[in-house]
Amino acid sequence: MPDRLGLATACGILVLFAPGISAACSVCMTGREDDTRIVYELMTGFMTLIPFVLAGGVFYWLRGRVKEIEARHERARAAASER
């Protein structure tokens, strides 16, 4: 009986070597042509990156706001201690 992990690994490797078959719409087969495949790949990259850009942008903005508030508190503390 073949080892299950070995079988799963072999299947994974086979899938890696067959991107040409998967890069097409299953209904209309659009994507087999070179031009459309390039657009498919570009849009896949775009859709992969967009969540990181949006979430990263929100995180960066919030981090900036926190720093601004903490800087303001530091200034207020310094002013209060001088008095």
Partner 1 sequence: MTSRGAGPGPTPGGERAVIPNGMFGMTLFVVAEGMLFAGLISAFEIMHSAAMVWPPPDQPRLPVEATAFNTLVLLSSGYFLYRAHQAFHRGDRGNMSRPMTLSLGLGVFFVLFQGFEWVQLIGEGLTLSSSSLGSFFYLMIGMHALHAVGAIGLLGYATVRLRSGWLTPSPFGAAEVLWFFVVAVWPVLYSVVYLR
71 binds partner 1 (CB under 8 A): no
Between 12 and 51, CB nearer to partner 1: 51
Binding residues for partner 1, rule CB under 8 A, total: 27
Encode the chain in three state secondary structure: CCCHHHHHHHHHHHHHCCHHHHCCCCCCCCCCCHHHHHHHHHHHHHHHHHHHHHHHHHHHHHHHHHHHHHHHHHHHHHHHHHC
Q: Which residue in the set 22, 66, 82, 83 belongs to the binding site for partner 1 (CB under 8 A)? A: 66
CB of 66 to partner 1, least distance (A): 5
